[in-house]
Structure 1
């Protein structure tokens, strides 16, 4: 418990300065790196013919994002198909199967990184770099860019300009992802993570047998997969293998890498929205000024609106972590019945160097921050322990990936103020804008897409022979495997229970469709909501206005999220992990 508490306290200390730095980049303010990186950005703009000062409407922004991603998907697919060429391919890897290449390219471009292959035997070094690592940068930067445009729309500084997608993409890459990856990658190399272009090495073990050790640019992939909340592993065992995650210190580096930037997005949101409100205050006459509110230390650190969102996310995260840790510490009653001690908790599928505490934390973080990397096998978690990552992906708003979690939580905030407004008979307001029919229809549509994808495709899998063929574990756990696969795909998470035989035509195509729709449909709708709200005028606060920057609103937000999840996913969870738990402990 102490190591978990210290890890999270250190995270809070680190996320605040990172959030301020990200806010300066998103708001176009000066940073210490500008004298050098402005020149780098200028060269990129000149070569690509981009005018960074040209603003875009939300429709133009969405089209630029999808169009850029589509071009990269095509190029990446071609590279995967011809990777057998003797170029950075010392291990002689063959070209990827068409259906698997389809799944893989969508997976990495949508920031999902669901892997139906083992990286050390399925990809050449060329593919690892030009496809996998490159798309980890681009997909993460695209998600950040969409989030920044969304926040600009909510801040309301302009009526029709959410920024320039290409400028956002470049600034986020050169000022955040590249320098952070360089520093983090060097730290991982220091801890023993390989970074080379050598062919695989055959070594003799202490038992006298021989083993093949995979080589390659592991550290470069490892850092951006966490920093960009991507999650794909260079190795099939992901961060559970010592080649990717050799020490407890490397485990902490990877934990903080995937936690820092999603949390920083919330701080960026709070400060940018605060800027928008202050700008509106300047534009009003004295008699129409909004009521002034004193800012406490948390409001100054996170922004008034960011504080309540961060608190709500924190409550959801701690609830999941507590359940996962408790469930894993209970062990397996079947083993207790035959006299096996489980004083250290359930260690099945876990690395001894991490134990239950760091395994439970990593499990909750990777699915709350929608990264998908694993330092233990989720398929071997206890039923309730395995339900936590499944539920966090179903919620898809507990910090989430690069900006996606924040955008999804804002949808629940809009839903919360709408419900509260109905209860008191007032038109709901959020961030000084009226929430009317158009915004609520778009919000409801964006929220319903996620469970629709998970539940409908899960039903298809269990109702067809092709889907059932992939289920290797009969009974309740088999349903959990199916739900987990599609929840991971729809949430663009990428982790899996790994007991599923998923490298088939059915699973490659269906999960590819879910990943694509789960990524781009919500982004387009969320940008549309921002575009609608930014055109509205600010309205004055009154005695009946619901304050959305308070701790009480954070609690309301948590209840709204859980109520929605209970109504939507409880029947499926009851047939999966809950029934498995009751059977095991019955």
Structure 2
């Protein structure tokens, strides 16, 4: 790896770091129900929406908030499912794309509403312009907005405040955060050469005299919210490896910054809202340390490549360019792969199925932990869940009642957290075992890599990431239905349980801090937090990883 590559990565991460704190503080202000200057900027847009929807700014209980999230999202899933099923006879379909098959429409509607954006179809040939704009882009705004609203309610509960109103938080997230940034960046992407048109597929004559159909469409507006909202689905089948979706180095840089923007900002939002900025910084540094370590391992693995033997019989290593775009190279491809799985975005500029075993291990590990920054809202809820686990374990070791932000963590909260912790591996490991037993004809690689393909698919679904190894024949009713169910449960089960935790903590009286209180805003807590993530989270999946990418790595033959 050259010094230029390392410098480019360092500049990218530095820019992300510089953007994190001001963005986080802005988001804290955006969700503040007290009057502010933001009301004057966005009130003209929000007030008519409140009036048309009959939305009141009354605070909701955790049950009302959770019910509002699940019911509203379910209705959106049904509406978009109908659009997919009838897109063949609906307008804005200049290429004459047929309506979606029922199980594929089921999978796709759930996928985009759960912020997963797993695609069992090829983007440019699977959806009409109407489906892309009214169905997909609509959910690309409402899905991350729903997740971020839940996180904000959870933080309010930790701070001992009312949880707020889901519909108010949803609208504020769209109008004050997602829409302004996505609109400006869409124009920037157009300037960089990303198409934004409603014209049909273009026909071109090649040098050989053959007619080639070139897909295009409203790509720039799709691309900006795809990355900003940690959505990740591709307008084109090959996602951000397509030159129309990612023309070059500058667009690649902007996409990485957009993927990291909100999820790296949330620790600062949290610190501001709970009145403990230092604790927010501790969590940010802890996640950043995991990210840097995982990125370093991936860069080293992808640059070394797999062992090969040349014509003279001499063994040597070579960088792995298989499945990567020449305009990005190994370093930027590896960086993108780590960022997209750490932020639970799922966009790809390289084919993850061709990553080295260790590179694939890191991408799967990011999704299994879902705490290496994690996606908009849901990922940081997992971070706070592990923070409370760390406090609980520390309390047990010293014989004290665990306290977090001045609230006692007792049996009720820990039972809810334990159930939330258990559901994730169940959603990943049980379907993977079923797939390996019954769907061998759809798994393109035998042995360890084939297991990794199936494991990656369900890990991506449960973590609401959406990227895939793509060697999998997943456009079948089995994969459509099973991953659809996993995505739905993976999203909404934790929403309900963690809102219940927030509701329980919100009504508890604060415990005065004493000299014996375990501090959660110092380096010691950061260390305990990392230990909880790696021991409780990583060891849960170690046997499966040992049978997949680790075994593949150990059996590589020169």
TM-score w.r.t. the length of structure 2 is 0.96
2:80 and 2:520 mapped to 1: Cα distance?
A: 43
1:15 and 1:543 mapped to 2: Cα distance?
A: 33
Matching residue of 2:403: 429
**Contact 1:185-1:219 within 8 A present in 2 as well:** yes
Which one of 370, 373, 386 corresponds to residue 396 of structure 1? 370
**Contact 1:397-1:404 within 8 A present in 2 as well:** no
Matching residue of 1:25: 30
**Contact 2:368-2:538 within 8 A present in 1 as well:** no
1:426 and 1:101 mapped to 2: Cα distance?
A: 51
1:338 and 1:524 mapped to 2: Cα distance?
A: 61
Report matched runs for 1:13-412 at 5 Å: 13-28=18-33, 32-52=37-57, 54-157=58-161, 161-206=162-207, 208-274=209-275, 303-334=277-308, 345-412=319-386
Matching residue of 2:477: 505
Partner secondary structure for residue 202 of structure 1: strand
2:314 and 2:267 mapped to 1: Cα distance?
A: 45
Note the alpha carbon deviations across 1:412-446, whole angstroms, 9 max, x for none. Answer: 11111111111111111111111110011111111
1:97 and 1:532 mapped to 2: Cα distance?
A: 43
2:70 and 2:90 mapped to 1: Cα distance?
A: 32
Which one of 518, 523, 539 corresponds to residue 551 of structure 1? 523
* Residue 446 (1) aligns with residue 446 (2): no
Gapped regions of structure 2 (runs ≥ 5): 1-5
Shift of 1:254: 0.7
Matching residue of 2:468: 496
Partner secondary structure for residue 502 of structure 2: helix
1:30 and 1:202 mapped to 2: Cα distance?
A: 54
Shift of 1:30: 5.5
Shift of 1:462: 1.2
1:71 and 1:559 mapped to 2: Cα distance?
A: 40
**Contact 1:485-1:496 within 8 A present in 2 as well:** yes
Stretch moving more, 527-536 or 340-349: 340-349
2:312 and 2:95 mapped to 1: Cα distance?
A: 46
Q: Aligned Cα RMSD in Å?
A: 1.6
Stretch moving more, 403-412 or 487-496: 403-412
Matching residue of 2:435: 461
1:523 and 1:418 mapped to 2: Cα distance?
A: 21
**Contact 2:369-2:538 within 8 A present in 1 as well:** no
Mark the CA change 1:10 to 1:164 in structure 2 (over 3 Å): closer, same or farther: same
Mark the CA change 1:538 to 1:502 in structure 2 (over 3 Å): closer, same or farther: same
**Contact 1:20-1:267 within 8 A present in 2 as well:** yes
TM-score w.r.t. the length of structure 1 is 0.92
Mark the CA change 1:323 to 1:540 in structure 2 (over 3 Å): closer, same or farther: same
Mark the CA change 1:335 to 1:372 in structure 2 (over 3 Å): closer, same or farther: farther
Matching residue of 1:519: 491
Matching residue of 2:3: none
**Contact 2:308-2:318 within 8 A present in 1 as well:** no
Note the alpha carbon deviations across 1:216-253, whole angstroms, 9 max, x for none. Answer: 11111111111110110000100011010001100111
Matching residue of 1:6: 11
Partner secondary structure for residue 212 of structure 1: strand
2:19 and 2:375 mapped to 1: Cα distance?
A: 18
2:124 and 2:260 mapped to 1: Cα distance?
A: 26
1:86 and 1:167 mapped to 2: Cα distance?
A: 32
Note the alpha carbon deviations across 1:260-317, whole angstroms, 9 max, x for none. Answer: 111122111111010xx7xxxxxxxxxxxxxxxxxxxxxxxxx122111111111111
Shift of 1:179: 0.4
Mark the CA change 1:365 to 1:338 in structure 2 (over 3 Å): closer, same or farther: farther
